[in-house]
Structure 1
Amino acid sequence: MQLNINGESRTSQAEPGMPLLWVLRDELNLTGTKFGCGIAACGACTVHVDGQAVRSCVTPASAVAHQRIRTIEYLGSPEKPHPLQAAWIAEQVPQCGYCQSGMLMAAAALLDKTPQPSDAQIDAAMTNLCRCGTYQRVRAAIHRAAKTMQSPNAQKGGAA
């Protein structure tokens, strides 16, 4: 099957029912997307499919063939971080860091749709679980990134 991942057409030999998470990690070696629970509860596996935050652990790869799939590897880079990644560091969000790629992808989807979210909108959109409990820092980082992204001189990393 053909998959459009991070702007590139990729061919997968996976069975149609294989979860997208395993195609990304095991077949395409895009290991930034993490396995957490396997039942779409924790959000560590969050990616974007046509701009929507999707839990890749329960999404069959065949269901998203020919759609735009974006992973954390697309969001930004160490050389040119996305404003969310910069805000994550500035607000010291990560502790263990395991859930962070999924958190960042969920936050990026939120900011794409709601450039200046309220606390309530952030709380509603950020359904990812963080065992370290950095939710207040996540909220502060999203507000910081939103402000940066609205600035006329904003340097955006990779497109979300």
Structure 2
Amino acid sequence: MASSRKSTTAAPKPKARPARKEEPDNSTAAKSAPEHVILLSGGNPQIPKGYGDTPVQAYIKAMPGWKNETGRRLDALIEHIVPSVNKAVKWNSPFYGVNDDGWFLSLHCFTKYIKITFFRGTSLRPIPPGESKHKEVRYLDIREGEFDEQQISDWIRQASQLPGEKL
């Protein structure tokens, strides 16, 4: 008859795990856009958090319909006005900043418009029209066929020279 007692011989201990690798530089980690991007509520692309141009371009590429062209225009305009711009995707939205001074602008897709967030919007002249519950934040909603390049350029120029938002 077999004994129901457990063996008293200790099992060998597993080898220690190797030290955790440092996180990769996300600006070069993803070489191309994900093959299939999920569109969240309002058609906003779900893109993993990442730093650099690559995740921002993946987001723009996944923007549906007319928003794709508008997103490319906005990104090119920002790069033209702020050649040293830093980029990231956080919370499924592209962010733009200068040096380590924080973020001055972000984008987000909604069903019928693209929302530009100016983190220090109340310091811009004229003040962008969209109000926020946050004291300094202002919004601009861009709908299909509406793209005032001169005004948007002016706001980008002003916003990039203000202290950024640390997020």
Q: Which has the higher strand share?
A: 2
Q: Which has the higher helix share?
A: 1
> TM-score with structure 1 length normalisation?
0.30
Structure scoring higher RCO (CA < 8 A, sep ≥ 6) equals 1
> TM-score with structure 2 length normalisation?
0.30
